[in-house]
Structure 1
Amino acid sequence: MSAGAATWLVVDAGNTRVKWALADAGAPAGQWRLHGAMAHGMLDTLAGEWQAAGIGPVRVLVANVAGGGVRAAIEGALRICAPQAAVEWFASVPWRAGILNGYANPAQLGCDRFAAAIGARALAPRQDLVIANCGTATTIDAVTADGTFIGGMILPGLRLMSGALARNTAQLPQIDAGTALPPTFAGNTHDAILSGCLAAQAGAIERAIAAHGGAPCIISGGAAPLIAPVLNAPARHVDNIVMLGLHAALLAGEMDETC
């Protein structure tokens, strides 16, 4: 990293992990110098990790859905690594970065879902879109070609769904990026649980696509590599859609400020 280069930091504090990305100020959305992720239980080492990476941004944008304890950990790391940075805690508002928030009460929309919608529109402008973010929870949202976020659905994520079903069966599937996909009609209980949960996740996404006129789908999140292959509809797999949306929101704000 060149000395004196102005940088921006975007942070996606989700229910399980805190993800972050560092970009040159004004760089295109998703073009990052560095990025990383950390489980909540390791957040006491976040400042050390950022210091080791030489992170000292001038602007920071954080989307936090993980509560006050995680916010306090991020604030502590920023006090050490970026004491002079302009820090904003991203929130769902009626309009931002080309997205009109169609929630009856715009502030009630999860800030991660709002950021994901901004990111999806930055990738595919002027299109009807379905955005499936498959993490601890799976959120499936719809955006119109004119940029209106019209709403969506929330269901348990793949791991949460399978864990709830298997809790009393001693058949808890091990679900990670390397998990082999089971056949639709599985021949053992372990695989049958995973097959059923994958079908439920895919079915919800396919239902949303059909309800939105067959709109293109962008899928993201930790479980996306498992869910995308079983979809009976095309889907574009994009890593870190929330952070991409945060980056796009910073860029849009900069353009607004210079107009």
Structure 2
Amino acid sequence: MRSLTVDIGNTAIKYGCFEDGVLRESAVLQTDQQLLAIAKRLTPAHAIISSVVSPTAAWSAALRPAVLGQVLEFAPATTPLPLRNAYATPHTLGADRLAAAVGAAWLRPNADTLILDVGTAIKCDWVEGGHTFRGGSIAPGLRLRFQALHTFTGRLPLVELPTDLGAPVPLTGDDTQSAIRSGVLNGAVAEVNGLIDSYRERHPTLGVVLAGGDANFFQPRLKGRIFVIPELVLIGLHRILVHNVEE
């Protein structure tokens, strides 16, 4: 079966094409017309749409003429899932967080997994035993931290991420820009490593999965073994779609 998964995030729209359970292609889009062109080319049997920013009805309507079967609009509070959702307020839960949890449970069955999704926000979520989503934490991402320092102060400049994400970030900045860069980048790494340590103290066999647009910055700076899975949300959406249309 060929299927199409669409993840509408805060800063990007991603699609993935799965065939026989394998992700064959993925890319970033800008408009529903681009998505429709992709769907017409792929002619998927089914599709799933997830959004954290706006209702999915318009995207679903644009996509439906090119999909042979069902177009599933993912709603965390109501869509049937292949894992238990123990979040206290599922109607407020971000679709991307839950999809990532489903993806992690699929990839690491019967295992405790900590998901680090580092993009617009830094989301840290725990999947217990490969079967239950427990929740986690949400903090500002790197760009939001830079923007907040500039927006909510009188004189601090807007600092950008370094072009070379693998370059060392000096601990001690010797001018205002490098001091901001140290505070934001080194501070975020220390924060995430602290979360990993806290979870590993409670769950010694925990595995850590890293995803999101800033994964390349964090991956070499995090403690212990880290599984980098950039398309984790798309994988989870595919498993949700399979759960709904095949089972």
Partner SS, residue 32 of structure 1: strand
Which residue identity is paired with 1:56?
A: T
**Deviation of residue 58 (structure 1)?**
2.0
Corresponding residue number in structure 2 for 1:57: 44
Instruction: Give the structure-1-normalised TM-score.
Output: 0.80
Equivalenced residues, count: 240
1:13 correspondence with 2:8: yes
Distance 1:217 1:136 in 2: 19
Q: Is the 8 A contact 1:102 1:150 kept in 2?
A: yes
Instruction: Give the structure-2-normalised TM-score.
Output: 0.84
Q: Match for 2:182 among 181, 192, 202?
A: 192
Q: Match for 2:71 among 79, 84, 87?
A: 87
Distance 2:5 2:239 in 1: 10
**Deviation of residue 179 (structure 1)?**
5.7
Q: Any gaps of 5 or more consecutive residues in structure 1?
A: 1-5
**Deviation of residue 119 (structure 1)?**
0.2
Offset from partner CA, 1:230-253 (integer Å, 9 cap, x none): 212321110111100011222334
Distance 2:182 2:128 in 1: 36
1:204 correspondence with 2:188: no
Q: Match for 2:129 among 142, 145, 148?
A: 145
Corresponding residue number in structure 2 for 1:67: 54
> What is the alpha-carbon root mean square deviation over aligned residues?
2.7
**Deviation of residue 94 (structure 1)?**
7.3
**Deviation of residue 75 (structure 1)?**
3.2
Map 1:1-259 → 2, pairs under 5 A: 7-24=2-19, 27-28=20-21, 31-38=22-29, 42-43=30-31, 45-47=33-35, 49-50=37-38, 54-68=41-55, 71=56, 74-75=59-60, 77-79=62-64, 81-82=66-67, 84-93=68-77, 96-145=80-129, 147-167=131-151, 168=153, 169-175=156-162, 178=165, 180-187=167-174, 188-193=178-183, 194-213=185-204, 215-256=206-247
